[in-house]
Amino acid sequence: MNRYPKRDDLRAMSGYHSPQVSVPVRLNTNESPIEPPAEFVRDLATSVGDIRWNRYPDRAARELRSAIAALHQVRPENVFVANGSNEVLQSVLLAYGGAGRTVATFEPTYQLHSHIARIAGSTVVNGTRNADFTLSGDEVRRVLTDHQPSVTFLCSPNNPTGLAEDPALIASTVATAPGVVVVDEAYAQFSPQSALGLVREDARVAVSRTYSKTWSMAAARLGYLIGPTWMIEDLDVVALPYHLDALKQVAGITALKYVSHMERGAADVVAERERLLSEMRTMPLTVWPSQANFILFRPNSVGSGDSAGAAAGGIGRRVWQHLLDNGVLVRDCSSWEGLTDCLRVTVGSATENAAFLVALRSAVSARD
Ligand code: PMP
């Protein structure tokens, strides 16, 4: 072996991956169960014919940013676009995090906030949520005062716990944070609230969004951020030239012609979520409320019977395996800090959800 060692600070890290297992019902990555409308695909095919493939794409992605700006009633100069909201987050961390700077998250939350912050060379500090996964103002104040983070992440609705953050808490965090605050709203369209109204030229806050969930376009890898113009300028400094290809720009513009279709899809997902929640509440599970397109739950332990499964992991892991054996893949969060034995299921189609409920009922009753 003649490997060259990577950076010292990356040695203990592994990549962040959600397993892609081939099973009939895949409810582990919070994708939309709804495909974009057939007209979208036809429109897109026509627009693709107009792309000048020998030329670089519009580096400033002006048309796409204008279309997103119109959707949110802001100016194109308030919009930064990137390859998925993960690249948006990475750009924020390259611009405002990095060596010698601190990034704050409140756990449990979306793991990539800490992961990308570390890759960017930042020091990560993790505040903690209350037992019910809400966030206390005291804890936010403690982290901001003790660590003076350059970047503070809030995630609303929070992945993987499901609840949106209290709007008053978001506003007070923005008012007191010493650095920038990013409100990750990957799931905002499934929730009645948004922090977009806080974005102003003289506030250090931005909201990130994605096409991957509501817009049924996880395959396209397109995300964006709405923020003050000075922040968009800073993010442009760290973005690679022409990072957003012409195909993706056109896909993003075309999708915005089908807003009402997407809104109906989000409403259907919310209705399915409520149905799933009420069914799951009849089972021996702890089920957390959700304002997103997924639900966090924990199978109740059944005392001595559980020791038999200890070798194969805890009860969460065993229920996960039982679901998988029955063709249903959910996210196993059972080994994550603060989430012992917890699993997260994405709201799927009515058929997928029905298959999940049958498999789950048999998993939890098999233990009785
Ligand atoms: N933020 C949160 C909270 C997420 O859950 C996800 C996807 N799992 C993302 C950002 C990234 O989404 P994408 O890169 O697909 O836009």
Residue nearest to atom 4 of ligand 1 (CA): 186
For 1-35, write each residue's pLDDT tens digit.
789 999 988 988 888 777 778 899 999 999 999 99
For 176-196, write each residue's pLDDT tens digit.
999 999 999 999 999 999 999
pLDDT of residue 15: 80
Vertex 17: Cα angle to 15 and 20 (nearest 5): 145
Lookup: tokens for 327: 């063709």
For 344-357, write each residue's pLDDT tens digit.
999 999 999 999 99
For 96-114, write each residue's pLDDT tens digit.
999 999 999 999 999 999 9
Q: Is the pLDDT of residue 311 over 50?
A: no
Strands 343-346 and 205-210: unpaired
| Nearest-angstrom CA–CA distance, 278 and 2 | 56
**pLDDT category of residue 303 using cuts at 50, 70 and 90:** low
pLDDT of residue 2: 86
Reading phi first (left if > 0) and then psi (alpha if -120 to 50, else beta), residue 30 is in left
From ligand 1's centre to the CA of 54, what distance in Å?
32
In sequence order, what DSSP letters do the residues of 152-216 get, joined into one string?
EEEESSPTTT-PPPPHHHHHHHHHH-SSEEEEE-TTGGGSS--SGGG--TTS-EEEEEESSSTTS
What pTM was estimated for this model as a whole? 0.95
From ligand 1's centre to the CA of 90, what distance in Å?
12
155 lines ligand 1 (CB under 6 A): yes
In a mutational test of the pocket of ligand 1, which residue from 31, 68, 81, 86 has the highest number of ligand atoms less than 8 Å from its CB? 86
Residue pair 309/341 in contact (Cβ under 8 Å)? The answer is no
Average pLDDT on 59-74 reads 98
Which 3-state string (H, E, C) describes 67-116? Answer: HHHHHHCCCHHHEEEECHHHHHHHHHHHHHCCCCCEEEEEECCCHHHHHH
pLDDT of residue 1: 76
For 33-54, write each residue's pLDDT tens digit.
999 999 999 999 999 999 999 9
Average pLDDT on 81-105 reads 98
Q: In whole angstroms, what separates CA 34 from the centre of its chain?
A: 18
Which residue segments constitute the domains of the chain, with CATH numbers given?
19-34+261-364 (3.90.1150.10), 38-259 (3.40.640.10)
**pLDDT category of residue 366 using cuts at 50, 70 and 90:** low
3-state secondary structure (DSSP) of residue 345: strand
User: 229: part of which helix (H) or strand (E)?
Assistant: helix 229-238
Lookup: tokens for 137: 């103002």
In a mutational test of the pocket of ligand 1, which residue from 212, 224, 294 has the highest number of ligand atoms less than 8 Å from its CB? 212
Query: What is each CA distance from 210 to 11, 50, 123, 283, 343, in whole angstroms?
Result: 30, 25, 26, 33, 23
**pLDDT category of residue 282 using cuts at 50, 70 and 90:** very high
Tell me whether the omega of the peptide bond preceding residue 24 falls within 30 degrees of 0, making it cis: no
Lookup: tokens for 242: 């022409």
Average pLDDT on 210-233 reads 95
- Residue of 54, 357, 346 lying closest to 212 (CA atoms): 346
Vertex 317: Cα angle to 311 and 321 (nearest 5): 105
Average pLDDT on 293-302 reads 94
In sequence order, what DSSP letters do the residues of 25-47 get, joined into one string?
EEESS---SSPPPHHHHHHHHHH
* Report for 151-155, 257-261, 305-309: range of highest mean pLDDT: 151-155
**pLDDT category of residue 307 using cuts at 50, 70 and 90:** very low
Query: What is each CA distance from 137 to 179, 288, 338, 341, in whole angstroms?
Result: 17, 21, 19, 27
Q: Is the pLDDT of residue 327 over 60?
A: yes
pLDDT of residue 16: 75
From ligand 1's centre to the CA of 334, what distance in Å?
20
Residue-level length of the chain: 368
pLDDT of residue 20: 77
Average pLDDT on 115-138 reads 97
List, in sequence order, every residue forming a beta bridge with 128; answer none if it has no partner: 107
84 lines ligand 1 (CB under 6 A): yes
Tell me whether the omega of the peptide bond preceding residue 157 falls within 30 degrees of 0, making it cis: yes
Query: What is each CA distance from 297 to 26, 288, 331, in whole angstroms?
Result: 17, 6, 11
**pLDDT category of residue 313 using cuts at 50, 70 and 90:** confident
Mean residue pLDDT of the chain comes to: 94
From ligand 1's centre to the CA of 351, what distance in Å?
25
Q: Is the pLDDT of residue 77 over 70?
A: yes
Atom of ligand 1 nearest to the CA of 86: 14
186 lines ligand 1 (CB under 6 A): yes
Residue nearest to atom 1 of ligand 1 (CA): 186
In a mutational test of the pocket of ligand 1, which residue from 29, 159, 336 has the highest number of ligand atoms less than 8 Å from its CB? 159
152 lines ligand 1 (CB under 6 A): no
- Residue of 288, 271, 287, 289 lying closest to 350 (CA atoms): 271
34 lines ligand 1 (CB under 6 A): no
pLDDT of residue 155: 98
Q: Is the pLDDT of residue 310 over 50?
A: no
pLDDT of residue 367: 56
